[in-house]
A and B are shown apart, each in its own frame.
Chain A
Amino acid sequence: MKAPDANRLVVQLFRSYYKRLREDDIYVNDLQKREFAFTYFTEGGMRRHIAFGSTSELVRYLAEAVPRHAYHSAAYYRDPAARTMDDKGWEGADLIFDIDVDHIDTPCKEQHDKWFCRACGSTGWGAPSRCPSCGSENLEKHTWVCNVCISVARDEILKLVDFLERDFGFTSHDLFITFSGHRGFHVRVENEEVRMVSQDGRREIVDHVKGLGLDIRQMVVKTAGGYRLRYGMPVSGWYGRIARWSILTTEEEKPVLSLEEWEKLLSECVAKEAVAIDERVTVDTKRLIRLPNSLHGKTGLRVAPLTVQDLENEDLLGKAKVFRDGEVAVEFENEPPKTVLDISSTASSRTLPLYAAVYMLLNGVSFSKFVLL
């Protein structure tokens, strides 16, 4: 299938999706105060500084413009359509978290991620940080999504929810979770108190969730035969996590250990409990984030709103698949990726579900045969 035809088919499918979208599907509070931004199939670059007077206006726009990617600001503005930050008039921002498998080591990357070294021209599977042949860090990377990636990200998001509820006291009503449409999740905390938290405050939240700056000497005191935790009855926070971890490892209720042992214990605890969020996203109070229920232009998957219960459910991808009906008979021109979404095969000629075919089209896979069944 040649590129122009592929494009036409994808736009058609995206349009049919956006035409079915209803106002109830738009989960953006104070919509009039948000900046929107879009990229398109028909032009390069991003159009920013767009504002909508109502949800119905936005829904109409999506069906007519059929964006490739759709975003809204985490921030609230007096005049979201103004072109400069000063004119926009910042009035606060939701607290947002981004968990993306790109930043986490997963075993499945060997199965589907590809790299190309711009320095020496070597290529291979996996996601190395430098070229195994020449050592250059100048790599071009092609990343793909599978069930394993999503499950790794899910574990991170569950840890994050634990921090947000047990340490920060947010309730499930404050948390709005979405699948990112690619290899991760977004969490938006919508709460009056959190809106005005400064960048410094947000950085402190990041440090807490990632366990940055922890120093065991701040948390233990000297006692006969070594050191014990400073406080007796830790609840949540890192104290609680370390206390639980120390009881689990030593099988003692109030372990007394050497400083080195405590340090080791702390680093194990951090490795296990800290959440791999992208700190830049959380600290940035002017960030754009994906519009819930829009389609991701690189996967054709839906930015699906999820509850904590949904996260615990096995088939997360099922919530994000949009083009479930229909199959396509294909033949690949080149070597196909071994695993894509929930499909694993190396056969070069086969039948694919429509959603997987759309995913491949959006990622520039070329087919010598592509027939809708």
Chain B
Amino acid sequence: MVVPKIEVALSPEDFRKYPFLPEAIDRAKRLGITLNDLSTPALREVLDRAGTYVRAAIDSKALPLPADDYDIEILSYMTTLVLLRIVFDRMLIRRFAVLFSKRFSQFIASEDLIKIIYILHKIGIKVKILDEDFSGFNIVVGVLDYIENIPESKGPWKLVHRLVDRGWVFVNKFEVIRLGEEALKRFVEQRVESLQLDGLGLPNEVFSLVEEVSRDWSQKLKEIKEAWIPTDATGFEQALPPCMAAILENLRAGRNIPHSARFALASFLLNIGLSAEDVLDVFKAAPDFNERIARYQVEHIAGMRGSKKKYSPYKCDNMRTLGLCVAECKVRHPLQYFWLRRRGRVVRHEGS
């Protein structure tokens, strides 16, 4: 189906609030400003603001409101992306994207529907307004954009619970804004990752700002890691989430468990700090245990072989799809459950 073209007249105020819009970027590009110009006193504000944005991301604190001058805001946004591209840490980029889209959703909630739809088109969402309401819905979103941008894969958001028709999902204004917020995160992340900086000389002022934020971010990362990574995994069993405990119990009972469950348990245990040897010991209980094969697989998951990448364990959504979820724990990831328990928190869950 062809999505009809919507024309919306944008004001300077829109450029302030939505500096990622192609019209805004084009405007800034026409100014012909390069990174070298950022060291001039007139544009010092841009560099300062970009630094503030990146620091907010490092500390996960809300972004300040946009600059009053929309050109300054657009340039600051673009400079922030450049800084993030140079530091190039996926977690930091993600943090900025999250904060930026939070600020965005405050603004967009008060726009009229046509403008909302227009902006969502610009960040790549297939969406249109219906001529007449259908069961109380007046907007449809392309199903592939819908599933990529739902905030959670359960409850009312889950596709199985939605009205759908030939590739379109029916949504209301509130929901389409929420989908837009998720989509903007991905949009910003992709913008940063696709930036080409080859051969770009950095003026000293920009360079020292990059150095400064990189240092702050490394320090932050160190703190995050210290809070989450255990030094030893003794007594890990007391903090296992119900899904992992169930797999472990089946394994110990000599039941033959599916490959997906083995992978889930092995990757989980490796991520909470057990060594490959410890994990192999756990798997010795399997009825078909073959040391050679098991060692190969566990070492592969641990990132000691092949791609040299340590595998992350499945998150809750994936555990559910694989039929390995056994309770409703109100967390998104089995690891989250584990770390909360390790820090002495009680995680309530209902067996299902």
**A interface, CB within 8 angstroms of B:** 84-86, 118-119, 136-138, 165-170, 193-194, 197-198, 200-201, 203-208, 211-215, 218-219, 231-239, 279-280, 283
Contact = CB atoms under 8 A, between A and B. Distances in A.
Contact of B161 (A193, A238, A279): A238
Q: Which of B1, B135, B167, B306 has the most CB of A within 10 A?
A: B167
Contact of B144 (A118, A193, A203, A215): A193
Contacts of B166: 165-167, 169, 236
Nearest to A193: B144
Contacts, number: 113
Given A85-B307, A168-B143, A206 B163 contact: no
B78 to A, nearest CB: 25
Contact of A207 (B1, B158, B165): B158
B317 A212 contact: no
A193 B145 CA distance: 9
B307 A86 contact: yes
B88 to A, nearest CB: 15
B317 A203 contact: yes
Interface in B164-210: 164-168
10 contacts: A86-B307, A119-B287, A167-B165, A194-B144, A201-B147, A207-B158, A207-B160, A233-B135, A235-B165, A239-B164
Contacts of B255: 137
Interface of B: 1, 134-136, 142-144, 147-148, 150, 153-156, 158-168, 255-256, 260, 287-288, 306-307, 317-318, 320-322
Contacts of B158: 204, 207, 213, 218
Nearest to B169: A237
A204 B168 contact: no
Contacts of A166: 165-166
A280 B320 contact: no
Contacts of B260: 280
B153 A231 contact: no
B162 A213 contact: no
Contacts of A215: 155, 161
Contacts of A118: 288
Given A208-B160, A215-B161, A234-B163, A138 B287 contact: yes
Contacts of A86: 307
A204 B161 contact: no
Nearest to A274: B160
A136 B288 CA distance: 11
Contact of B160 (A203, A212, A235): A212
A279 B321 contact: yes
A205 B134 CA distance: 24
A198 B186 CA distance: 11
B321 A238 contact: no
Given A201-B147, A236-B164, A207 B159 contact: yes
A86 B318 CA distance: 23
Contact of A170 (B136, B156, B161, B167): B167
A279 B161 CA distance: 19
Contacts of A231: 135-136, 163
A219 B307 contact: no
A204 B159 CA distance: 7
A215 B155 CA distance: 8
A237 B162 contact: yes
Contact of B256 (A85, A138, A211, A236): A138
A57 B168 CA distance: 41
Nearest to B286: A138
B163 A137 contact: no
Contacts of A208: 159-160
Nearest to A235: B165
Given A235-B165, A237-B159, 6 more contacts: A138-B287, A138-B288, A166-B165, A211-B160, A212-B160, A283-B318
Contacts of B163: 231, 234-235, 237, 239
B169 to A, nearest CB: 8
B150 A218 contact: no
Contacts of A137: 255-256, 287
Contacts of B148: 197-198, 200-201
B321 A207 contact: yes
Nearest to A213: B158
A61 B330 CA distance: 54
